[in-house]
A and B are shown apart, each in its own frame.
Chain A
Amino acid sequence: MAESLSKITAAFETAREITMEAAASARTPALGEDGVFRSRDIKRFLNSRHEKEKLQGMKAIATLMSKGEDVTEYFPEIVKNSAAQTLEIRKLVYIYLLRYAERESDLALLSINAIQKSLGDQNPQIRAMAIKVLSGIKVPSIAPIVLLAIRKSIVDLSAVVRRAAAVAIGKAYELDKSNLEVLVGYLATLLADKSYYVVGSAVQTFVRVCPDRLEMFHVHYRRYCTMLADIEEWGLVCLLDVMTRYVRVYVPKGSMVRKPKDTFYSDDDGSGDDQPALAEEEFVIDPDLERLLAAAKPLLQSRNSAVVMAVVNLFNSLVPEADLSFLGPPLVRLLAQPSEIQYVVMTNIVVLALTSQDLFAPYLKYFYVLPSDPLQIAKPKIEVLTLSCSESNVSEVLSELQYYATTADSALVAESVRAIGRCAQISPTIARRCLRWLLKQIHSSNHVLVGESLTVIRYIIQLSPKSHIKTVARLAAALDKSRVPLARASIVWLVGEFAGIAQNIAPDVLRKCAKGFVDEDEVTKLQIILLAAKIYSYHIEDRPIPDESTAVNGDSGELEPTIKPPADPMDLLFEYVMLLARYDTSYDLRDRARLYKSVLDAPGAPLAKLLLQAPKPSPYAPSPSQGKEAFLLGSTGMLVNGIVAATSPLPLWSAETPDASIRDDVKEVIEDNYASTRIIQSAIKKSKKSKKSKKSKKAEKSTGKAKKVVKKPAIIADKKPATAALPVSKKEEDYHVTLDEFFGERSKNEMISDSESAEDQLAAENVDEDDEDESSGSEVEVIVEVSEDSDEDDDSDDEDSDEDSDDSEEDDSDEESEEEDESDESEDEDVAAQAGLLSGR
């Protein structure tokens, strides 16, 4: 059935497309039909009386704008349409104004009046558009008008308009920076907004306008913690960043605290008093920080990778000491995203792996390189494999890296061989294993593999030269087989480098090389004469010193170079190689031979020693991404080769943080609300618990509760700490609870006042906070919401029962669920009745 339906759909779809194409070609000519827009025609359409033609005109303008053509000449005609009835025209006019108003500021002013009028429109969407355009017109002279408009909009009933106002604040600031203080005031109002829709944008504007005024977040911190899950994804990215910064400045850092174990019962003798060894270390963090972490953790389940990365950054910057193993799966999951996102994620994973090796060890399989991985993803994958490599998984990782080194493309080969070299650092056993494999690769026909292998071999030998004399011997033996000039050159160099340690190997290698000198490549020849020079420099060093007084330097036993017993085969060999070089065709080779000869001829050859025997620093082989830890996770800096204007770094942890009470809700009004809330809650709870109460008894209960309300002031004093904690207990809540509230609320609204839209009521609640005299309708609203608070709050019984009913609803037939609804409604009625009493106080 499904298939046949979808087939039909597909058939219709194609039919529709065909018809559309046919129709498109057959349509009667309109503006720009032939692809050419004549300015005369456009103006005629724009000046037309018919909305339809105006719209066509505006669409033509939009087309020209999209093509990047200059359309300023139409400014007067377009401004005239800024009060058009059709929303689409108006939108297009607004878009036009946003882009061109700056160029024709005088003409743009003509439209201001119409826009201002729209600020009072019934439709919130039009109001939002108006505030957006007004703030976006970059004409400085209207700055005061913009301020006025913002002031009006931040208390608008519609969240859509308030959100637009939040954005407008940022633009108004760009327009006239002297208004900063006023604007920050407005922003503060919006930061306190109840709608998560608004808060997200307000935080974005905060970052833009006054990112350093973190103190503005004191009163909102805990509330935001509870709201995190609701805020839309883009605002969330900003908010998480701001919260991270806030914690760094105002919340004490988590620390390891020695917790005395209950040593009292241990059979320890009396001296145990000041023995910290018995104490157990525990990682303790501030409750406010814990609150944030608990709220942020579920956000790792966001579908938006930018949010996930912001959460990872939050944890990594705030509690790097804690067990962060839960960050692995969400990051690994992002590897299924399109390649460009994968690339960014991989780069960040590497940086994380640099600091905590174990984080990705359980997920190694995800970092095996697939043939379809582009190089930029394969490289960091190899890096993560290497970084996560430990004694326990080394054989898996090595065999995988070895596979890449022998089969992959050249760029990846080099990367893999180097990675093997880094694995060798883990332990001597692993180093030996790597070395064995690398030595085999010298005979490969793949130049890249050979070259890289030798580099890594050199590196491993240099880690502990004394234990690798055998390796040098094996390398020397490899020289007989290897035919790749570069590899030969590298081996000769390596042998020379260890001439001092492997003293009987080097001269023999030189002897063999001298034999075939003529047939060698130039690179190898260069290395051979260097080898000769090195051996010779050691050779003359070992000679008995006939006259110490002639030595130039007194520090070591320098020697007299003049004595050359011609019988010494070493001398003969050196002379022979130098002669070969002297008559070579290469200038470079001849020059170098001359150089070595003369430095070695000098008395004591001090220069030669410096030149030839200088201990080479062990090649530093860091992970390629080493150093990227300096960047914030998710920032662009680590992705780009070259400097970028970096995101401002996180502030350092404050040494002293103010008392946590600064984050208490300071607003009297709100506290008051909360206090009364609790009273009402308890009353409602009772009424609910006592039974799904019979209606007749309801009145009594309500009056009982009213009495409690009278006691309110005293309770407030007692409950203060509790009220501060109130938003906290909400932290576990998920946003869909709010959704449920909405639905719940709908039915309630229908009961109470069916005319008002839910949104307006929401807004009304908002205003209600500051405004004492409100219509009873909105007062009811507050209390209704309050009752919901209680549901979510600490009344677990209640929630459970709700859940139960939910479940039964799912299992049972619809009829029953309707019954449930009814009972819900009766409860709502209950609440409403109570509320009515309250408002009468």
Chain B
Amino acid sequence: MSILALYITDINGQQLFEYPIADYCPTNKSIQVALRDCSPEDVILRLSTNELVFHKKQDALFFLVPCTATIPALVPLEFISHLIKVLHDYFQPPLTRQKIEKNFSTIMMLLNEMIEDGYPFVTEENALRDLVPYSDSISKYLKGATSSIKNLTSSTTSMQAISSADIGNPRSNVPWRRSNVKHNNNELYVDIHESLSVIIPALSPAQKMMNAIAADSNPSASAFYTVASTVPQVLPEPIVSIAHGSVYATTRLSGIPDIQIILSFGNRVLEGPAFHPCVRLARWRDHPGTLSFVPPDGKCCLLQYTISGVESGPIGGDLKIGLGASKDEFEVRIWSRVPKNVKFAENLRVELVYDGDRVQTIKGIRASSGEFNIEQKGTGIWRFPGKTPMGWSATLRGTMIVNEDLEPGEDGTVPQEFPKFIKISYDCMGMLVSGTKVESLKITSGKQGLMENAKPYKGVKYMTKGTDIVIRG
């Protein structure tokens, strides 16, 4: 049961870094040969009855971890995730070939601490910061300028910092917090991110009928571009609406602070929340929503949760087919609602997915705003660069041209093709779809490390990321 080696390669499989652990471990070459034969989606590759390779792509790099087959499958995968987190912490994302090559010795020392006898050992970022100090001379030089904003690595590069007598003792108290944290400016930020998955089904025939009646009675809607606000049409209820949330704390506080965050989730049920080891579970159990903890220095994910049945988000849309004189047009509408505290959405894009084998092209595209491009076979993307205001709407209309060489159907004609579904994605700052809120944010104790009159800066940010908003046609 052990990890045999670790390789980092570029996307072409060319090796950048190797860290063999076992005496006899499969080489990157042999792994690459085996990788060529397997489908790109295979997470786990079998080299032999005893050896498996787990791999993960991150940024422009591949992490390959050959293991013995007896290892629990999630251990190497979690290890790779931890390693990437640590490398991000040390070298800032995104990881590049240059960053790896510049820091071979640091990565090597990190791995030396992170894997012991083929098994993950110390993987906590803060603990590693104590064990493997890292700062290049420039950052030290710049530190004077930036330290008030961003704390860099421990004060000195060389051994004095480590071999001093105080090493290692406070760490054993709070294994996830590095020792002797000192900051000039003390800050505490809470970021809550939710990623939203929604599936909205196609309208049932009865609903379509009702909408048709509504549209007829509303003369303004007969124009090319229907305006969202004026059409009180029936929208189907989402069959799936799930928010996966993460609560991050970024703390730059001196000493050993004790923090309490009270969250309110409305009346929603969290499905199987997961906590950072620093969070006191009993406190949560007795007072649901209360996160009480001594944080690791820097950024950490305190809580992950999942909520089902949330709102469908600030951006809505629908897909209509069979419009126009010859019933061969489709229309995509999207609109933004007007939630509180939200001024705009960013990176809004709509993917239009259709059968790429049957559809040759899309003609007669009329978009009220944004740009529409067919980017790959079967997918057209409608982008809205920059910020999209709230209370806004846009429409896209067009006709799909069916491939000529298709065999006709039973009635001798080739059926008209329409988009199968649309997929919306966006980032929206300032709100959470689940209605989760930070009620209070306090540093309850441990101020001895802070200066007497220091009032740590506190901030809270919310972000909803629409990842999979699917509207079926």
Contact = CB atoms under 8 A, between A and B. Distances in A.
Same assembly: yes
Interface of A: 1-2, 5, 8-9, 12-13, 16, 19-20, 23-24, 51, 58-59, 62-63, 65-68, 85-88, 91-92, 94-95, 98-99, 102, 122-126, 132, 138, 158-160, 167, 170-171, 195, 197, 201, 204-205, 207-208, 229, 232-234, 237, 241, 298, 300-306, 308-310, 328-333, 335-336, 338-341, 343-345, 363, 365-366, 368, 370-372, 374-376, 396, 400, 403, 407, 443, 445, 481, 483, 634-637, 639-648, 732-737, 739, 742-743, 746, 757-760, 762, 809-810, 814, 817
Contacts of B306: 329, 332-333, 335-336
Nearest to B58: A338
A365 to B, nearest CB: 5
Contact of A758 (B163, B167, B169): B169
A733 B281 CA distance: 9
Interface string B443-473: 0110100000000010101000001101010
B420 interface: yes
Nearest to A342: B43
A67 B275 contact: no
Contacts of B283: 736
Nearest to A35: B101
Contact of A303 (B71, B145, B276, B420): B276
Contact of A376 (B41, B112, B271, B279): B41
Given A204-B119, A306-B72, A340 B77 contact: yes
Interface stretch (B134-142, B321-329, B365-373): B134-142
A137 B293 CA distance: 41
B73 interface: yes
B304 A644 contact: no
B117 A171 contact: yes
Given A1-B457, A301-B272, A309-B72, 4 more contacts: A87-B159, A234-B121, A333-B244, A743-B173
A759 B457 CA distance: 32
Interface string B324-338: 000000000000000
A642 to B, nearest CB: 5
B172 A636 contact: no
A2 B189 contact: yes
Contact of B41 (A59, A167, A375): A375
B274 A330 contact: yes
Q: Which of B108, B150, B165, B279 has the most CB of A within 10 A?
A: B108
B240 interface: yes
Given A123-B167, A306-B75, A66 B442 contact: no
Interface stretch (B11-19, B215-223, B311-319, B392-400): B11-19
Nearest to A94: B112
B20 A99 contact: yes
A365 B280 contact: no
Contacts of B120: 234
7 contacts: A16-B139, A65-B104, A88-B158, A303-B275, A336-B304, A400-B239, A742-B174
A650 to B, nearest CB: 13
Nearest to A89: B159
A430 to B, nearest CB: 20
A450 B18 CA distance: 50
B421 interface: yes
B158 A645 contact: no
B361 interface: no
B149 A5 contact: yes
A342 to B, nearest CB: 9
Given A123-B163, A204-B119, A371-B421, A640 B52 contact: yes
B289 interface: no
Q: Which of B116, B162, B260 has the most CB of A within 10 A?
A: B116
Interface in B255-296: 256, 260, 271-283, 292-294
Nearest to B80: A340
Contact of A126 (B73, B163, B407): B163
Q: Which of B28, B304, B415 has the most CB of A within 10 A?
A: B304
Contacts of A445: 406-407, 409, 415
B43 A343 contact: yes
Given A160-B172, A758-B173, A759-B169, A736 B280 contact: yes
A755 to B, nearest CB: 11
B212 to A, nearest CB: 23
B15 A310 contact: no
Chain B interface mostly: mixed
B444 A809 contact: yes
Contacts of A126: 163
B230 interface: no
A86 B158 contact: yes
Interface residues of B, number: 118
B136 A20 contact: yes
A158 B168 contact: yes
B339 to A, nearest CB: 19
Chain A interface mostly: helix
Interface in B342-395: 353
Contacts of B139: 16, 20
Contacts of A302: 274-275
B109 A92 contact: yes
B432 interface: no
A641 B169 contact: no
B78 interface: yes
B341 interface: no
A57 to B, nearest CB: 11
Contact of A370 (B138, B304, B470): B470
A498 B421 CA distance: 41
A178 B181 CA distance: 47
B50 interface: yes
Interface in B87-138: 102, 104-105, 107-109, 112, 116-117, 119-121, 123, 131, 136-138
- The 9 A-B pairs with the shortest beta carbon distances in the complex, nearest first, are A329-B272, A2-B459, A736-B280, A336-B244, A330-B272, A62-B105, A644-B69, A306-B74, A757-B169
B26 interface: no
Given A87-B159, A302-B274, A122 B442 contact: no
A374 B74 CA distance: 19
B172 A234 contact: no
Nearest to A171: B117
Contacts of A372: 423, 467-468
Contact of A59 (B105, B239, B242): B105
A344 B149 contact: no
B50 A645 contact: yes
Interface string B150-170: 100000001100110111111
A637 B49 CA distance: 10
Nearest to A61: B105
B353 A371 contact: yes
Contacts of B136: 20
Contact of B280 (A159, A233, A734, A817): A734
Interface in B170-203: 170, 172-175, 187, 189, 195, 197, 199
A20 B304 contact: no
Contact of B294 (A132, A208, A739): A739
B38 to A, nearest CB: 10
B105 A63 contact: yes
Contact of B116 (A132, A641, A734): A132
A635 B1 CA distance: 11
Nearest to B425: A372
A333 B271 contact: yes
A333 B245 CA distance: 10
Given A237-B75, A365-B308, A66 B407 contact: no
Contacts of A63: 104-105
Contacts of B81: 338, 341
B70 interface: yes
Contacts of B102: 24
Q: Which of B15, B18, B75, B304 has the most CB of A within 10 A?
A: B75
Nearest to A408: B420
B18 A371 contact: no
Given A122-B165, A301-B274, A333-B305, A95 B109 contact: yes
